[in-house]
Structure 1
Amino acid sequence: MIKEMPLTQDEQMELEALLLQNYYEDASEDLLSFTEATFQKFKPKGFHKKFYEILTLFALGIIKNLIISMPPQHGKSEGSSRRLPAFIAGKRPDDKIALVSYAATKAQKFGREIMSIMREREYKKIFPDVQYPERGYTGAKANTNENRESINSDGSMKFVGVGGPLTGDPVDVLLLDDLYKDWEEGNSPIIQQRVWDWYTAVAETRLHNDSQQLIVFTRWSENDLIAILEDKGYVKEWKGEQDLNEFIESLDSTEFLKINLPAIKEDEPNEFDERERGEALWPEKHSIKKLTSSRDKDPDKFDALYQGDPVNKDGLMYNPFKTYSELPPAKIRKNYTDTADKGKDYLCSISYDVPLSKTDEHYYVVDVVYSQEAMEKTEPQTAEMLKRTKTKLAKIESNNGGRGFARNVQTLVKRACAINWFHQSGNKESRIYSNSATVNRCLVFPDDWHIRWPQFYKDVTKYKKEFSANKRDDAPDCMTGIIETETKTGNDDWGDSGVI
Structure 2
Amino acid sequence: MERAKEKTEVPAFTEFADRVFPGLEKGGFHAAYYRVLEAFARGRIRRLMVTIPPQHGKSLGSTTLLPAYMLGLDPDLKIAIASYSAALANRFNKRVQRIMDSALYRALFPGTSIKRAGERSDYVRTADMAEVIGCSGELLSVGREGSLTGNRVDVFILDDLYKDAMEANSPLIRENCWEWYTSVVRTRMHNASRELIVFTRWHEEDLIGQLVAKEEVTELKSWNQIERENGNGWLLLNFEAVKRSPPTEIDPRSEGEPLWGERHSTGLLAERMKLDPLRFECMYQGHPSAAQGLLYGDRFMLYEQLPETLVRYANYTDTADTGDDYLCSVCYAVDAQRRIYVTEVVYSREGMEVTEEVVAVMLQQVPGCDVLVESNNGGRGFARAVSRLCPNHRIGWFCQSANKEARILSNASAVLRNICMPVDWVARWPEFAHDLLSYRRIFRTNRWHDAPDVLTGIAEREICGTLSKKIRALSFKR
**TM-score for both structures, normalised by structure 2:** 0.93
Unaligned runs of 5+ in 1: 1-21
Per the TM alignment, residue 86 of structure 1 is displaced from its structure 2 partner at its CA by: 0.3
Structure 2 Cα separation of the partners of residues 436 and 491 of structure 1: 19
Aligned to 2:137: 155
1:321 to 300, 303, 310: 300
Aligned to 1:193: 175
Q: How does 1:364-379 map to 2 (within 5 A)?
A: 364-379=341-356
Aligned to 2:61: 79
Structure 1 Cα separation of the partners of residues 120 and 399 of structure 2: 81
Q: Which amino acid aligns with 2:157?
A: L
Per the TM alignment, residue 252 of structure 1 is displaced from its structure 2 partner at its CA by: 5.2
Contact 1:422/1:496 (<8 A) preserved: no
Per the TM alignment, residue 400 of structure 1 is displaced from its structure 2 partner at its CA by: 0.7
Aligned to 1:12: none
Q: Which amino acid aligns with 1:400?
A: N
Q: Is 1:459 the counterpart of 2:441 in the alignment?
A: no
Aligned to 1:333: 313
2:420 to 444, 464, 476: 444
Q: Which amino acid aligns with 2:302?
A: T
SS in 2 for 1:354: strand
Q: Is 1:385 the counterpart of 2:362 in the alignment?
A: yes
Aligned to 2:36: 54
Q: How does 1:68-467 map to 2 (within 5 A)?
A: 68-238=50-220, 240=221, 243-245=222-224, 247-248=225-226, 253-319=231-297, 320-328=299-307, 329-355=309-335, 357=336, 360-390=337-367, 392-415=369-392, 417-467=393-443
Q: Which amino acid aligns with 2:128?
A: E
Q: Which amino acid aligns with 2:431?
A: Q
SS in 2 for 1:167: coil
SS in 1 for 2:471: coil
Structure 2 Cα separation of the partners of residues 159 and 391 of structure 1: 68
Per the TM alignment, residue 141 of structure 1 is displaced from its structure 2 partner at its CA by: 3.0
Per the TM alignment, residue 268 of structure 1 is displaced from its structure 2 partner at its CA by: 4.3
Structure 2 Cα separation of the partners of residues 405 and 387 of structure 1: 16
Structure 2 Cα separation of the partners of residues 498 and 251 of structure 1: 58
Going from structure 1 to structure 2, the CA distance change for 1:231 and 1:491 (only over 3 Å counts) comes to farther
Q: Which amino acid aligns with 2:192?
A: D
For each residue in 1:3-37, what CA deviation from the matched residue of structure 2 results, as whole angstroms up to 9, or x when unmatched?
xxxxxxxxxxxxxxxxxxx9x73xx2411011011
Per the TM alignment, residue 223 of structure 1 is displaced from its structure 2 partner at its CA by: 2.4
Going from structure 1 to structure 2, the CA distance change for 1:282 and 1:392 (only over 3 Å counts) comes to same
Per the TM alignment, residue 423 of structure 1 is displaced from its structure 2 partner at its CA by: 1.0
Q: Which amino acid aligns with 1:116?
A: R
Q: Which amino acid aligns with 2:280?
A: F
Contact 1:424/1:491 (<8 A) preserved: no
Q: Which amino acid aligns with 1:342?
A: T
For each residue in 1:312-342, what CA deviation from the matched residue of structure 2 results, as whole angstroms up to 9, or x when unmatched?
0122222511111122221111111110011
Contact 1:132/1:150 (<8 A) preserved: yes
Per the TM alignment, residue 251 of structure 1 is displaced from its structure 2 partner at its CA by: 5.1
Structure 1 Cα separation of the partners of residues 130 and 412 of structure 2: 58
Per the TM alignment, residue 306 of structure 1 is displaced from its structure 2 partner at its CA by: 1.7
Contact 2:278/2:438 (<8 A) preserved: no
Structure 2 Cα separation of the partners of residues 403 and 93 of structure 1: 67
Per the TM alignment, residue 491 of structure 1 is displaced from its structure 2 partner at its CA by: 6.3
Per the TM alignment, residue 213 of structure 1 is displaced from its structure 2 partner at its CA by: 0.8
Structure 1 Cα separation of the partners of residues 347 and 193 of structure 2: 45
Structure 2 Cα separation of the partners of residues 386 and 399 of structure 1: 21
Per the TM alignment, residue 127 of structure 1 is displaced from its structure 2 partner at its CA by: 1.2
Contact 1:485/1:493 (<8 A) preserved: no
Contact 1:406/1:419 (<8 A) preserved: yes
Aligned to 2:3: none
Per the TM alignment, residue 367 of structure 1 is displaced from its structure 2 partner at its CA by: 1.3
Going from structure 1 to structure 2, the CA distance change for 1:251 and 1:465 (only over 3 Å counts) comes to farther
Contact 1:137/1:143 (<8 A) preserved: no
**TM-score for both structures, normalised by structure 1:** 0.89
Q: Which amino acid aligns with 2:456?
A: T
Structure 1 Cα separation of the partners of residues 215 and 449 of structure 2: 23
Moved more, 140-149 or 76-85: 140-149
Per the TM alignment, residue 121 of structure 1 is displaced from its structure 2 partner at its CA by: 1.3
For each residue in 1:68-119, what CA deviation from the matched residue of structure 2 results, as whole angstroms up to 9, or x when unmatched?
1111111111110111000000112211100001111111111111111111
Contact 1:351/1:391 (<8 A) preserved: no
SS in 2 for 1:37: helix
Q: Which amino acid aligns with 2:379?
A: G
For each residue in 1:383-403, what CA deviation from the matched residue of structure 2 results, as whole angstroms up to 9, or x when unmatched?
111112335111101111111
Number of residue pairs the alignment of both structures matches: 468
Structure 2 Cα separation of the partners of residues 386 and 231 of structure 1: 45
Runs of 4 or more off by more than 6 Å in structure 1? none
Structure 2 Cα separation of the partners of residues 322 and 252 of structure 1: 50
Aligned to 1:35: 17
Contact 2:223/2:249 (<8 A) preserved: no
Structure 2 Cα separation of the partners of residues 250 and 340 of structure 1: 35
Q: Root-mean-square deviation (CA), in Å? A: 1.9
Aligned to 2:4: none
2:453 to 451, 456, 477: 477
Structure 2 Cα separation of the partners of residues 434 and 250 of structure 1: 44
SS in 1 for 2:411: helix
Per the TM alignment, residue 433 of structure 1 is displaced from its structure 2 partner at its CA by: 1.6
SS in 2 for 1:265: coil
Q: Which amino acid aligns with 2:255?
A: R
Aligned to 1:9: none
SS in 2 for 1:257: strand
Structure 2 Cα separation of the partners of residues 142 and 299 of structure 1: 47
Which has the bigger relative contact order, CA under 8 A and spacing at least 6?
2
Structure 2 Cα separation of the partners of residues 41 and 349 of structure 1: 48
Structure 2 Cα separation of the partners of residues 496 and 228 of structure 1: 51
For each residue in 1:26-57, what CA deviation from the matched residue of structure 2 results, as whole angstroms up to 9, or x when unmatched?
xx241101101111111432111111011111
SS in 1 for 2:317: strand
